[in-house]
Structure 1
Amino acid sequence: MPDPVRLAIIGLGMATKPHLLALEELRGRVEVSGVLNRNRAKAEAVGAEHGWRVFDDLAAVAADPGTDGVIVATPPDQRREIVSAMAAGGKPVLMEKPVERTLAAARAIVAECADAGVPLGIVFQHRFRAGARRLRELVDGGRLGELALVRATVPWWRDQAYYDQPGRGTLARDGGGVLISQAIHVLDLMLSLTGPAASVQAMRATTRMHAMETEDFVAAGLRFASGAVGSVV
């Protein structure tokens, strides 16, 4: 059996729990080389629970010969600094969505990894589920006919307590609201099946159901490069 891949975890927020469960399932194939978090006490608690090293800073992770790559599960406003350090250290990056808060910043991250020859992956897991992969085969093979109409609906709910957490749904930390934080998964799954959109017309709003800086409602009409049309709500 080949040696396990050794990954460091950077960020221990809400998105970390699924990664910890996956890492447990991959035990023997993947090992955790250590953790890093802005809240040192939280990192030490998680490290003590699992028997993992706690890194002092990004430079320590980037320079660690016992780390083959990193999982980045921080809020979006911390991504650029982290990726820059890992790219400089030659560490492949698997990062939670979204890439960053703005298109320009996201492109800069992608370019920095490409220039350094460092693999960069974003966690869009739904397109890799068995059902999604089979549907992609059927669509690509023409088994369902020519794609004409697409409808994507995101009914997921977040209560006010979710947005009352510091930074949630703000432009400064998250870069937006429901579209970039929750609906992004459905959008990725949709585009993996439909191909790229050629044009989009949309509206966004903050409804009376939430008190927050950014949107909790989005509706869009799309025309895809294939000629199909669709909607997202």
Structure 2
Amino acid sequence: MRKARIAIVGVGLAATPHALALNDLRDEVEVVGVLGRSRERLESFARQYDFPLGESFEAMLKDPGVDAILVLTPPHTHLDLVLQAAAAGKHVLLEKPLDISTQRAERLVQVCRNADVRLGVVFQNRFRPAVQRLAALVQDGSLGPLAYAGLDLRWWRPQSYYDEPGRGTYARDGGGVLMTQAIHSLDLLTWLAGDVSSVTGATATTLSHAMEAEDFASAALRFESGAAGYVLATTAAFPGFPERIELVGQKGTAVLEGGALRVTFQDGSTDEFHDSSSSGFGAKPMAFSHTTHRDLIRDFCAAIREGREPAIVGDDALRVQRLIERITLRHGDPS
């Protein structure tokens, strides 16, 4: 099996689990170069994970041996980088969100489609064993038609987290808790419960943080299936708690809390499943295993080899980003 050859752009906070995952996959994937804005951080990162330094982004794009670009830079940079990668015929694996606005995100997805390059999005939580078990129960009808579905994400970030320049701003991140933290769980909610037909949302910046965007959001939802729903998301809940997704069906109720799944059926039977997943819900954002990143990257590389779509594509991320826009009532392109 030929190794997939990937170049990395960005060595910030999100890069660590990707690097650990790529080292696990050395028999399947070759990292051909790493680029970053800070030379000191870049060299330290490359030494730590034994990755070669890249010459330049332009050189990566011109190298016929590079199959794909792994983009780990801040959201406001994504569109420009993906435009260049797609024009060069490179597949793209992109950290969430797609970009800072739905308009820019839609353009990004369309550009990859027009160029016939694969676009994968890093929603790694779909690869959690407990999530996959829950998805199987939904897909085989074990829960029955859903009455309602809800997401409760009560995380904590200290003010020092938001003191990093640009963090929690619309210009760099596109928003706050919804775009940066809850987006993963919103992806799971819409993947499991389906598209949303109506939204009544509210957002706020609490007294816990000095930041531009929201650190609190809530919404009442109606899904296209007719099921009701709700969202509550915050980074102001000290010391932070595992996120909770609840699916209430006509045959049973499933509660996924972190990596713990409990299903109670109306016939009296139960099903419990636990994995070691965590989400960095407290003061340490990267306090979670890299194994789901490994599984996501393996699937993306297999998609390149097999000429198929990866498990999570641009349209999946667009669905979540459109929902966030409807909750926050932020429309249009801020650029």
| Distance in 2 (alpha carbons) for counterparts of 1:159 and 1:37 | 26
Give the alignment's TM-score, normalised by structure 1: 0.96
Question: Would the aligned equivalents of 1:206 and 1:215 in 2 still touch at CA under 8 Å?
Answer: yes
SS in 1 for 2:146: coil
- The answer on 1:206 being equivalent to 2:205 is yes
CA-to-aligned-CA distance 1:67-125 (integer Å, 9 cap, x gap): 21111111001111110111011111001000000000000100111110010011001
Measured after TM superposition, the shift of residue 37 of structure 1 is: 0.9
**Residue 132 of structure 2 corresponds to residue 125 of structure 1:** no
| 1:131 CA displacement | 1.7
CA contact (8 A) 1:55 1:61 kept: yes
Written as runs of structure 1 = structure 2, the 5 A alignment for 1:182-201 is: 182-201=181-200
Task: Report the counterpart of residue 153 of structure 2 in structure 1.
Answer: 154
Where does the alignment leave 5 or more consecutive residues of structure 2 unmatched?
Answer: 233-335
SS of 1:78's equivalent in the other structure is helix
Tell me what 1:23 maps to: 22
Alignment of 1:131-150 (within 5 A): 131-150=130-149
Matched-pair contact (CA < 8 Å) for 2:7–2:60:
yes
- Give me the TM-score of the superposition, normalised by structure 2: 0.67
Aligned equivalent of 1:218: 217
Query: CA–CA distance in 2 between the matches of 1:67 and 1:40?
Result: 22
Hey, what does 1:90 align to over in structure 2?
A: 89
| Contact 1:95/1:122 (8 A) holds in 2 | yes
Q: What is the CA-CA distance between 1:38 and the residue it aligns to?
A: 1.6
Number of aligned residue pairs: give it: 232
Q: Does 1:38 align with 2:37?
A: yes
**Structure 1 residue 41, shift from structure 2 partner:** 3.1
Q: CA shift at 1:40, angstroms?
A: 2.7
CA contact (8 A) 2:32 2:54 kept: no
Contact 2:198–2:222 at 8 Å: present in 1 too? yes
Distance in 2, matches of 1:6 and 1:150, equals 40
**2:6 is matched with which residue?**
7
Distance between the aligned counterparts of 1:28 and 1:103, measured in 2? 37
Contact 1:7 1:33 in 2 (8 A): yes
CA contact (8 A) 2:23 2:49 kept: no
CA distance in 2, matches of 1:49, 1:218: 38
1:211 aligned counterpart, secondary structure: coil
Q: Which residue of 1 aligns with 2:76?
A: 77
Contact 2:67 2:90 in 1 (8 A): yes
Q: Secondary structure at the match of 2:99?
A: coil
* Aligned match of 2:106: 107
CA distance in 2 between counterparts of 1:207 and 1:132 reads 31
Amino acid at match of 2:19: L
Query: How far does residue 160 in structure 1 lie from its aligned partner after superposition?
Result: 0.3
- 1:7/1:71 contact within 8 Å kept: yes
**CA 1:130–1:50 in 2, change beyond 3 Å: closer, same or farther?**
closer
**Partners of 1:58 and 1:85 within 8 A in 2:** no
**Residue type of the alignment partner of 1:154:** L
State how far apart, in whole Å, the 2-side matches of 1:194 and 1:34 are.
39
Give 1:65 deviation, angstroms: 2.3
- Extract unaligned runs of 5+ from structure 1: none
Tell me the alpha carbon deviations over residues 36-73 of structure 1, each in whole angstroms, 9 at most, x when there is no partner: 11223322333344443322332111111232111111
Q: Which has the higher contact order (CA 8 A, sep 6+)?
A: 2
**Could you tell me which residue of structure 2 aligns to residue 55 of structure 1?**
54
Q: Is the 8 A contact 1:77 1:172 kept in 2?
A: yes
1:32 positional shift: 0.6
